[in-house]
């Protein structure tokens, strides 16, 4: 049953992506272009600090799969691509292997193919601290992702509807963890209230994983004979909305959900993400062109991200905090309703002198 579900997810994500390129909240975010502000691309260092490690690249392969023969082969290709490019990689939820050790190799392949890379193990929030420890041990993982997926569980035919124990369970996992913990959504976003709660529970990293890309309400609904949860498609906050709305004292933010291009990566970094996760877009390339295809794509994203930072005058991802971002459309409406100062965001590069010379 669980192995079938893992195969269903991959098939349905690919089918639903084939509907064509989707616009999402990232399209509402533009940079003000300053024609004389550029720097040399060879001065750009894309490296970022995440979970006590230095990553060469500010984007990573986010949680997806494992738990069946076919998804084990996908994990093998993803891990080879991670090894060849230095990309950090997350496993899919290891729960299946915790319940049935025969499935362990379909996850363990991520470490076997990528012995020196940065690897996250992934578990659901309902698992015990001991299960989380076993998941980390299985992958010799550098860090642990804990996913919050209430919407997915709600639509999933075999899903749980009992969520009240989650905060306590999360607290126990965080307390017992011997590696850094990232709490993530699975494509519905983390609100300011959730981010503050995570901080109170001692969580150091949060991946907002918003809407705009893979939509597990649609995926799980397609697994129902009657498709009676179609109305939940599109639920949640977009990744851009989450980043705009995040409180100043949130955990260190990672971003994922709907990232399609290196420009989306740079937009998310400029909106305050420390690093940016990609699932659906990279899965598609591995399904179409194998590990080799993903290696080529990651190399081209790396060169393009470097070029974009040079264009924006940013020697490192941290320098993007001073870029001027213009937010339009539905995202701007969300921002206005939520009281976010979008005007200030569009003038972040201004100094007090340039501001006064413009009469502000």
Q: Tell me if 294 contacts ligand FNR by CB under 6 A.
A: no
φ, ψ for residue 85, nearest 5 deg: -115, -10
Binding to ligand FNR (CB under 6 A) within 158-187 occurs at: 184, 186-187
Paired tokens of 31:
């940079």
The DSSP call for residue 89 is E
At its nearest, how many Å lie between ligand FNR and the CB of residue 211?
8
Binding to ligand FNR (CB under 6 A) within 126-155 occurs at: 145, 147
CA distance 56 to 30: 26
Among 68, 75, 85, 93, binds ligand FNR (CB under 6 A): 93
Q: Are strands 48-50 and 53-55 parallel, antiparallel or unpaired?
A: antiparallel
The DSSP call for residue 29 is E
Q: Tell me if 272 contacts ligand FNR by CB under 6 A.
A: no
The region, left, alpha or beta by phi > 0 then psi within -120 to 50, assigned to residue 30 is: beta
At its nearest, how many Å lie between ligand FNR and the CB of residue 217?
12
At its nearest, how many Å lie between ligand FNR and the CB of residue 26?
11
Q: State which residue, 155 or 278, has the beta carbon closest to ligand FNR.
A: 278
Place of tokens 């009281």: 339
φ, ψ for residue 186, nearest 5 deg: -125, 25
Point out which span in 9-17, 155-163, 166-174, 349-357 binds ligand FNR (CB under 6 A).
9-17
Among 75, 106, 169, 214, binds ligand FNR (CB under 6 A): 214
Q: Tell me if 208 contacts ligand FNR by CB under 6 A.
A: no
Contact 97, 119 (CB under 8 A): no
CA distance 118 to 254: 15
Q: State which residue, 93 or 237, has the beta carbon closest to ligand FNR.
A: 93
CA distance 196 to 340: 17
Q: State which residue, 149 or 314, has the beta carbon closest to ligand FNR.
A: 149
Angle CA 132–282–66, to nearest 5: 35
Q: State which residue, 4 or 322, has the beta carbon closest to ligand FNR.
A: 4
Point out which span in 33-41, 103-111, 256-264, 266-274 binds ligand FNR (CB under 6 A).
256-264
Q: Tell me if 262 contacts ligand FNR by CB under 6 A.
A: no
Among 48, 203, 217, 259, binds ligand FNR (CB under 6 A): 259
* Three-state secondary structure call for residue 207: strand
Place of tokens 């490192």: 316
Burial of 353 by CB count in 10 Å (0-12 exposed, 13-18 middle, 19+ buried)?
A: exposed
Binding to ligand FNR (CB under 6 A) within 59-78 occurs at: 62-65
Short-list 219, 174, 178, CA closest to 197: 174
Point out which span in 208-216, 221-229, 244-252, 285-293 binds ligand FNR (CB under 6 A).
208-216
Q: State which residue, 100 or 322, has the beta carbon closest to ligand FNR.
A: 100
CB-nearest residue to ligand FNR: 213
At its nearest, how many Å lie between ligand FNR and the CB of residue 75?
11
Q: State which residue, 48 or 121, has the beta carbon closest to ligand FNR.
A: 121
Q: How many chain residues touch ligand FNR (CB under 6 A)?
A: 27
Paired tokens of 58:
């500010």
At its nearest, how many Å lie between ligand FNR and the CB of residue 156?
12
The region, left, alpha or beta by phi > 0 then psi within -120 to 50, assigned to residue 337 is: alpha
Q: Tell me if 258 contacts ligand FNR by CB under 6 A.
A: yes
* Three-state secondary structure call for residue 31: strand
User: What are the residues binding ligand FNR (CB under 6 A)?
Assistant: 9-10, 13, 62-65, 92-93, 122, 145, 147, 184, 186-187, 209, 213-214, 256-259, 278-281, 283
């Amino acid at each position: 049953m669980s192995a079938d579900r893992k195969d269903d997810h991959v098939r349905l994500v690919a089918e639903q992506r084939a509907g064509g390129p989707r616009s999402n909240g990232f399209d509402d975010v533009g940079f003000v272009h300053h024609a004389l502000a550029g720097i040399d691309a060879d001065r750009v260092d894309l490296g970022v600090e995440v979970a006590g490690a230095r990553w060469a690249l500010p984007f990573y392969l986010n949680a997806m799969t494992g738990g069946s023969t076919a998804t084990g082969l996908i994990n093998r290709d993803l891990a080879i691509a991670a090894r060849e490019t230095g990309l950090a990689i997350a496993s899919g939820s290891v729960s299946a292997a915790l319940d049935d050790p025969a499935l362990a190799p379909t996850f363990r392949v991520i470490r076997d193919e990528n012995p020196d890379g940065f690897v996250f193990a992934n578990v659901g929030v309902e698992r015990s601290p001991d299960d989380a420890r076993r998941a980390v041990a299985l992958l010799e993982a550098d860090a642990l992702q804990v996913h919050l997926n209430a919407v997915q569980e709600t639509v999933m035919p075999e899903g749980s509807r009992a969520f009240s124990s989650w905060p306590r369970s999360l607290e126990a996992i965080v307390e017992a963890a011997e590696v850094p913990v990232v709490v993530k959504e699975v494509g519905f976003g983390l609100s300011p209230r959730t981010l503050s709660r995570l901080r109170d529970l001692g969580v150091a990293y949060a991946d907002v994983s918003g809407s705009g890309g893979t939509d597990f309400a649609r995926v799980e609904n397609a697994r129902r004979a009657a498709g009676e949860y179609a109305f939940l498609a599109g639920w949640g906050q977009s990744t851009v909305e989450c980043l705009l709305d995040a409180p100043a004292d949130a955990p260190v933010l990672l971003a994922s959900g709907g990232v399609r291009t290196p420009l989306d990566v740079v937009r998310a970094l400029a909106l305050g993400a420390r690093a940016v996760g990609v699932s659906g877009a990279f899965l598609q390339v591995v399904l179409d062109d194998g590990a080799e295809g993903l290696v080529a794509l990651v190399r081209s994203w790396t060169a393009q991200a470097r070029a974009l930072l040079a264009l924006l005058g940013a020697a490192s991802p941290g320098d993007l905090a001073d870029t001027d971002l213009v937010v339009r459309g539905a995202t701007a409406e969300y921002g206005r309703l939520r009281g976010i100062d979008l005007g200030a965001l569009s003038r972040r590069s201004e100094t007090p002198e340039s501001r006064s010379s413009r009469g502000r």
